[in-house]
């Protein structure tokens, strides 16, 4: 179905005679219009029923229909009118009465939130419509950001802050008997993401809007998100997230914008040679739009989320009436479950299939929408060669990789372009951001599964792989067959698959030509390159296959000096599609997300590609939005920054933060800084009491590690360090304890993936340690351990402003970037960490003396693992002592043998301390002693804190987006008139 471009600014029909509990004698209805003033109509007061009012509402929006339909031709927008608290209160009342999600009898807190959010959305809609009407009118190049995750957080405070209406809304709600903060807390976090990947995407949308770049975001509308995390005596438990249970006031369903998405079926060739993908399973992707307002700008961009369904005729009424209810709605459930859960478990074939369906749905629906919008702007005839000049598609990690074959498919099969035209357009349009060096995250899919689910795409991927092989041969030749074999092993998209016939023929020709010069004969046995159908299947250990030998070259010299070359596949290994390789081959740009990560991408992860296409590779160090992560979540600190810098320009130009450096040792600033931090710590203490029941002292140092639970992020190193601290405390007298140790509250948060057993053991261990020492009267407030359940953006907005030490302690070379480290530094928190990800650049900017560094360096990791495998590693006695202490049962009856055992031995899966916890432990403990020493000197610590905020200027997502726009997307800002 063709997509319509302008957003509909629909008007809710007015009603009279409804009743409400508002403590007010009148109701004012306003509808926004580009040239409008607010129109108020007073209701008739019913003096005999003081707590129930009749609303008489006049709607004048329809009187100015032309202006609403064509806002970009008018000079006025919302910028011409600043609503006061009375008009806002009237708007909230209107939505409570006429956009009801609740019964009319009461105006309780939850109802107040929904009415408030809907009133804010009203104000966004005009600029939202105008933004894209203007982009369409100007026919500008737009960037389309495609991501499986968007970790948005609560929208209300962010939206009113960006609209500069926080004060007016606070006053309006006060008139209605509520506090803005209390109302905002009723909003559930949108469960559209899990960790840094999704939060980065959300920061990018905020910056795109604020900087007036023409852009869209595309994602999936997950009904249950990842999961809601409960912390019980057994550790982590998962329950379904219910964020959509009461509806989402920020979204607008676009029932007129939907696209077909196909699975399974078969590919047939028409009489003209064109391919058609027919049969199979058909679903419909429906658009849900969410406005993303920029800060102090009219620009309001769109996040379009896809939900899945089937046409009503797929409901089998006959089966239902016959009592076979599961059969009746099988097709409906099959379609709907695509958007049930973020990252469904993929241990089973069904789970893998569902994940692949999710990824293809996102790619197919988004590209169909992008193409429909391009065609509408282009008019007739459509000049497809101009497509990359108007469209930039950014794939956020490998999840949207199917954008590449899908764009090729649409251009060839639907639009009638040739292979060369489609492939050229695709390579000029698509770009790829790599977020990891972990092999399991560089996705691989079973070729067999993909062949079943997406048969046409497998044909296209085989063509791309064949073209890539020819490019490799053109680059390196075929004389050095060992070199060629190495390149193909590293670079091919199809892993463990026979070479295409065209390549075999090329090699034969090449070798015969060279024989006359070398008096050697070379041939390739085609029979030996082919595997029988179905001889391997994808198992549950797909990711391990990448490390195995999957092709070989045998050089067998005989008496006649004949060289026999054989490319073999391993029948024991599955045939796989390597999505990251497809991203690099099919895109025009590949970027890492921190300087050290981008170097690893070039030198290790994609070294062969980098040698062939060095111009494709870039670095784009991540950033976070200073609006949400200082101004809105930390108003106390924001006021101090503005006061001392003398301007609020730092909110959109973080370089101004550097001005704080010259005041860092000023006693007045330090005093104000400490007071702001203490107020934030009191909020954290109250939050911890509410969520966990633990009482902590705001006089202690707040030491925080909040991020996805993973072995490489080394929460285990942190908790083992705490166990060591606890053990040493127990060995001292009360007086010695107080003298030696700075009081600490050690706060953890983050989710372990539901099937990641080792990560869940770590969560259990942390909670057991906390349960023991938090109730130890000998320790008291000297040491507390708290695991905050269900960590999300809203939790982060409480914890980060009140944190003083933040742990970013991943094994060097494993973290692509990290973004929470940037948020902590912005809020004056001092980091302890390794030289990994963005830590490297943060340390450079804030100063080496204001960052606590420990641990092995990235270039040492491979050697240290090798030494371990050879039995040369000598564990530190203190580390052995701590493991023995854990095994003694002091933290309860749970058997931690598997967890401790993973840190022992020299080799083997799940053993040998792959992430070097034991190796870095002595350095970590020494560094923590330095932390204690620095914290005792509060003047020094406060100066370090100020310098962290001052040095965080580089890590704004505004800077990152400027770089993407300039170097990859090649788009320019477009300010609305």
Q: Return d(Cα 455, Cα 544) in angstroms, integer.
A: 25
CA quadruple 507, 509, 510, 514: dihedral sign: positive
Identify which of 714, 577, 653 has the alpha carbon closest to the alpha carbon of residue 211: 653
Alpha-carbon dihedral of residues 842, 844, 848, 849, nearest 10 degrees?
Answer: -70
Antiparallel, parallel or unpaired: β 805-808 and 830-833 = parallel
Quote the tokens at residue 313.
Answer: 């005729």
Q: How far, in Å, CA of 196 to CA of 823, rounded? A: 12
DSSP secondary structure of 229-253 = EEEETTEEEEE---TTTT--TT-EE
Q: Which residues, in sequence order, are CB contacts of 250 under 8 Å at separation 6+?
A: 117, 121, 155, 290, 291
Look at residues 496, 479, 615, 598 and name the one whose alpha carbon lies nearest to residue 552.
496
Gap between the Cα atoms of 719 and 589, Å rounded:
40
Instruction: Look at the block and give the residue holding tokens 């706060």.
Output: 747
Residue 160 CA to residue 183 CA, distance in Å, equals: 13
Query: Whose structure tokens read 């495998």?
Result: 869
Q: Which of 390, 708, 760, 868 is catalytic?
A: 708
Catalytic entry in 819, 834, 949, 960: 819
What span, in angstroms and rounded, lies between the C-alpha atoms of 388 and 976? 24
Q: Which of 30, 199, 390, 435 is catalytic?
A: 435
User: In the annotation, is 708 catalytic?
Assistant: yes
Q: Using CA atoms, how far apart are residues 719 and 765, in angstroms rounded to an integer?
A: 8
- Point out the catalytic residue in the list 154, 456, 575, 713: 713
CA–CA gap between residue 105 and residue 140 (Å, rounded) = 49
Containing H/E element for 257? strand 252-263
Q: Measured between alpha carbons, how far is 410 from 262 in angstroms, rounded to an integer?
A: 13
Residue 370 dihedral angles phi and psi, to the nearest 5°: -60, -45
SS (H, E, C) 572-628: CCCCEEEHHHHHHHHCCEEEECCHHHHHHHHHHHCHHHHHHCHHHEEECCCCECHHH
Is 435 catalytic? The answer is yes
Neighbouring-strand partners of residue 145: 217, 394
Q: In this structure, are residues 784 and 770 in contact, taking their beta carbons and an 8 Å threshold?
A: yes
Catalytic residue among 707, 744, 760, 764: 707
* CA–CA separation, 54 and 774 (whole Å): 56
Look up 823 and say whether it is catalytic: yes
- Residue 336, both tokens: 């709907």
- Give the pair of three-digit tokens for residue 448: 């067999």
d(CA 940, CA 129): 51
Return phi, psi of residue 673, to 5°. -60, -45
DSSP-assigned beta bridge partners for residue 413? none
**Contact by Cβ (8 Å): 384, 417:** yes
Q: Which CA distances in Å does 10 have to 4, 343, 388?
A: 15, 35, 34
Catalytic residue among 823, 868, 883, 959: 823
Quote the radius of gyration of the chain (alpha carbons, Å).
30
Q: Are 93 and 115 in contact, with CB atoms under 8 Å apart?
A: yes
Structure tokens at 312: 């009503």
CA 565 to chain centre: 46
DSSP character string of 693-755: -----TTSEEEEEES---GGGTHHHHHHHHHHHHHHHHTS-HHHHHHH---EEEEEE----TT
Longest dimension (CA), the chain: 115
Positions marked catalytic: 435, 707-708, 713, 819, 823
């Amino acid at each position: 179905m063709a997509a319509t471009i302008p957003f509909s600014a629909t008007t809710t029909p007015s009603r009279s005679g409804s009743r409400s509990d508002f403590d007010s004698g009148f109701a004012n209805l306003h509808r926004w219009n580009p040239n409008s003033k607010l129109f108020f109509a007073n209701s008739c007061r019913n003096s005999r029923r003081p707590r129930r009012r009749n609303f008489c509402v006049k709607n004048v929006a329809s009187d100015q229909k032309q202006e609403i339909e064509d806002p970009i031709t008018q000079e006025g927008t919302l910028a011409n009118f600043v609503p006061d608290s009375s008009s806002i209160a009237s708007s909230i009342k209107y939505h409570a009465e006429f956009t009801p999600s609740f019964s009319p009898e009461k105006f309780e807190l939850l109802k107040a939130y929904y009415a408030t959010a809907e009133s804010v959305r009203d104000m966004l809609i005009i600029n939202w419509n105008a933004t894209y009407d203007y982009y369409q009118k100007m026919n500008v190049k737009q960037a389309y950001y495609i991501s499986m995750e968007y970790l948005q957080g609560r929208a209300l405070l962010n939206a009113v802050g960006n609209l500069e209406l926080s004060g007016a809304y606070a006053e309006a709600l006060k008139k209605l008997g509520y506090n803005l903060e209390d109302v905002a807390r009723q909003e559930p976090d949108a469960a559209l993401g899990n960790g840094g990947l999704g939060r980065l995407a959300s920061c990018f949308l905020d910056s795109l809007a604020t900087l007036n770049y023409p852009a869209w975001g595309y994602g999936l509308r997950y009904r249950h998100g990842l999961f809601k995390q409960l912390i019980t005596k057994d550790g982590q438990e998962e329950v379904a997230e219910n964020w959509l249970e009461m509806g989402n006031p920020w979204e607008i369903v676009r029932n007129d914008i939907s696209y077909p998405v196909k699975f399974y079926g078969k590919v047939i060739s028409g009489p003209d040679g064109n391919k058609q993908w027919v049969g199979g399973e058909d679903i419909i992707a429906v658009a849900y739009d969410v406005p993303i307002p920029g800060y102090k700008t009219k620009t309001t961009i769109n996040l379009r989320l896809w939900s899945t369904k089937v046409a009503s005729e797929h409901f089998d009424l006959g089966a239902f009436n016959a009592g076979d209810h599961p059969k009746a709605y099988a097709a409906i459930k099959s379609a709907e479950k695509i958007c049930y859960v973020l990252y469904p478990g993929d241990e089973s074939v069904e789970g893998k299939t569902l994940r692949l369906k999710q990824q293809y749905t996102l790619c197919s629906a988004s590209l169909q929408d992008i193409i429909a919008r391009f065609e509408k702007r282009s008019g007739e005839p459509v000049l497809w060669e101009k497509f990359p000049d108007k469209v930039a598609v950014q794939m956020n990690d490998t999840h949207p990789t199917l954008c590449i074959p899908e764009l090729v498919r649409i251009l060839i099969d639907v639009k009638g372009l040739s292979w060369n035209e489609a492939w050229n357009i695709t390579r000029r349009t698509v770009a790829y951001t790599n977020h990891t060096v972990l092999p399991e995250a560089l996705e691989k899919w079973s070729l067999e599964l993909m062949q079943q689910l997406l048969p046409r795409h497998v044909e296209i991927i085989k063509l791309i792989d064949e073209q890539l092989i020819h490019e490799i041969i053109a680059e390196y030749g075929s004389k050095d067959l060992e070199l060629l074999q190495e390149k193909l092993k590293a670079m091919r998209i199809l892993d463990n698959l026979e070479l295409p016939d065209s390549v075999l023929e090329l090699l034969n020709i090449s070798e015969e030509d060279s024989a006359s010069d070398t008096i050697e004969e070379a041939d390739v046995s085609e029979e030996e390159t082919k595997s029988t159908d179905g001889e391997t299947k994808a198992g549950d250990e797909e990711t391990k296959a990448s490390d195995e030998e999957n092709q070989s070259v045998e050089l067998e010299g005989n008496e006649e000096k004949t060289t026999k070359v054989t490319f073999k596949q391993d029948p024991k290994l599955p045939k796989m599609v390597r999505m990251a390789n497809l991203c690099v081959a099919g895109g025009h740009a590949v970027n890492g997300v921190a300087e050290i990560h981008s170097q690893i991408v070039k030198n290790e992860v994609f070294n062969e590609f980098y040698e062939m296409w060095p111009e494709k590779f870039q670095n784009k160090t991540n950033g976070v939005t200073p609006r949400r992560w200082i101004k809105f979540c930390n108003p106390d600190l924001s006021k101090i920054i503005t006061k001392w810098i003398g301007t609020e320009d730092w909110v959109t130009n973080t370089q101004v933060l550097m001005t704080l450096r010259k005041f860092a040792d000023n006693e007045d600033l330090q005093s104000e800084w400490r007071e702001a931090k203490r107020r934030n710590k009191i909020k954290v203490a109250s939050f911890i009491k509410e969520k966990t029941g633990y009482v902590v002292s705001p006089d202690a140092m707040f030491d925080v590690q909040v991020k996805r639970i993973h072995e490489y992020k080394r929460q285990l190193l942190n908790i083992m360090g705490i166990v060591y601290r606890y053990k040493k405390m127990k060995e001292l007298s009360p007086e010695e304890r107080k003298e030696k140790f700075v009081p600490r509250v050690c706060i953890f948060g983050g989710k372990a993936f539901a099937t990641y057993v080792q990560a869940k053991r770590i969560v259990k261990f942390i909670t057991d340690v906390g349960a023991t020492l938090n109730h130890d009267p000998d320790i008291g407030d000297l040491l507390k351990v708290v695991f905050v359940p269900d960590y999300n953006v809203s939790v982060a907005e409480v914890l980060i402003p009140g944190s003083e030490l933040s742990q970013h302690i991943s094994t060097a070379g494993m973290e692509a970037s990290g973004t929470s480290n940037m948020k902590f530094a912005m809020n004056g928190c001092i980091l302890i960490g390794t030289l990994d990800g963005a830590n490297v650049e943060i340390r450079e900017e804030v100063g080496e003396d204001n960052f606590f560094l420990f641990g092995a360096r990235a270039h040492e990791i491979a050697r240290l693992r090798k030494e371990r495998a050879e039995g040369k590693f000598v564990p530190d006695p203190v580390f052995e002592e701590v493991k023995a202490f854990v095994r003694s049962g002091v933290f309860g009856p749970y058997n931690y043998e598997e967890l401790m055992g993973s840190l022992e031995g020299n080799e083997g899966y799940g053993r040998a301390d792959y992430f070097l916890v034991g190796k870095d432990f002595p350095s970590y403990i020494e560094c923590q002693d330095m932390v204690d020493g620095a914290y005792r000197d509060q003047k020094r610590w406060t100066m370090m804190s100020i310098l962290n905020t001052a040095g965080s200027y580089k890590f704004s997502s505004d800077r990152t987006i400027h770089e993407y726009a300039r170097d990859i997307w090649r788009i320019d800002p477009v300010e609305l008139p």
